[in-house]
Structure 1
Amino acid sequence: MKKYLLFITIVLCSFQLQAQTSQDLLDIKRVALAYIESQHTPNPKLMESALHPRLVKRSVFRNKTAQKDFVSEYFAENMIILAETYNVKGDKFPKNPRKEVKLLDVSAKIASVKLIADAWIDYMHIVKENGEWKIINVLWQYNDVKQHE
């Protein structure tokens, strides 16, 4: 039985490795880095290049008055404006900001990525459309969950 499971695991891993090219892996990482780097050094064009036009970015926050959680949503347009305005003074990130990209799963047309930055974690879904990888979903939270209140 163990040999059978090992064989299936090897076959599945081999199939997954064939589902993307090394260029795809580089492009996926590049898109995830463009997302964060466009905020480090304000660059709305870089942010726009990384985002699918239908991007939705979500997180859960707490409304203290109502004592109720709610889901916040931002869209591609909001993120492009954020990239232009968030760090204009250069005071939002450390001198050498953290930007760790972990490829969680990659297939022929979709990928899941975890981006670990200084103050937050982003889980991203990235799609390949017309030969280009673009971020279509982001689910994020602050490392300090008290900031969600």
Structure 2
Amino acid sequence: MKKYFAILAVIFCSYKIQAQTAQDTSEIKRVALAYIEAQHNPNSKLMESALHPRMVKRSVFRNKTAQKDFISEFFAENMVILAETYNVKGDKFPNNPRKEIKLLDVSTRTASVKLLADAWIDYMHIVKTNGEWKIINVLWQYNDVSQHQ
């Protein structure tokens, strides 16, 4: 039985080493930072470089009139436009905006990341396709959930 657990431990450790390289970790963080920094300093090309073309960004909002929740969806194209237009006056973020990246899980071709920004939290799924890490899913909410109206 001990031999069985020792073999499993070796297999597990070997898998983890192969699944996440230092370069992968760096690239995953770079992509997550590009997503938020493209909004801080309007940069549509930086945003586009971080997103998979089929990326979807979702959140839950409450319709006050109907008193029902609904899911909002934005796509890669919307996010590229947002990056170009959202903070053009430089008034949407503090001088030193929060951009804390937490790697929740990393495998050979997929990663789950939590981005803590000033006003919101983004959970991202990042996928490695054709040798590049790209954001494919984002689920986000305001820190103050009363803003989801």
Q: TM-score, normalised by structure 1?
A: 0.93
Deviation at 1:12, TM superposition (A): 2.7
Question: For residue 56 of structure 1, what is the amino acid of its counterpart?
Answer: V
RMSD over aligned Cα atoms? 1.9
State percent identity of aligned pairs.
Answer: 79
Residue of structure 2 equivalent to 1:66: 66
Partners of 1:72 and 1:56 in 2: how far apart? 10
Per the TM alignment, residue 16 of structure 1 is displaced from its structure 2 partner at its CA by: 1.8
SS of residue matched to 1:93: coil
Question: For each residue in 1:39-93, what CA deviation from the matched residue of structure 2 results, as whole angstroms up to 9, or x when unmatched?
Answer: 0000000000000000000000000000000000000000000000000000000
The unaligned stretches of length 5 or more in structure 1 are: none
Deviations 1:106-149 (A, max 9, x none): 01110000000000000000000000000000000000000002
Alignment: residue pair count? 149
What code does the residue aligned with 1:89 have? Answer: K
Paired residue secondary structure (2:97): coil
Number of the residue aligned with 1:140: 140
TM-fit CA distance, 1:8 = 5.0
* Number of the residue aligned with 1:48: 48
C-alpha change, 1:65 and 1:10, in structure 2 (3 Å) is farther
Q: Report the alpha carbon displacement of residue 20 of structure 1 after superposing the two structures with TM.
A: 2.2
Q: 1:7 to 1:148 in 2, by over 3 A?
A: farther
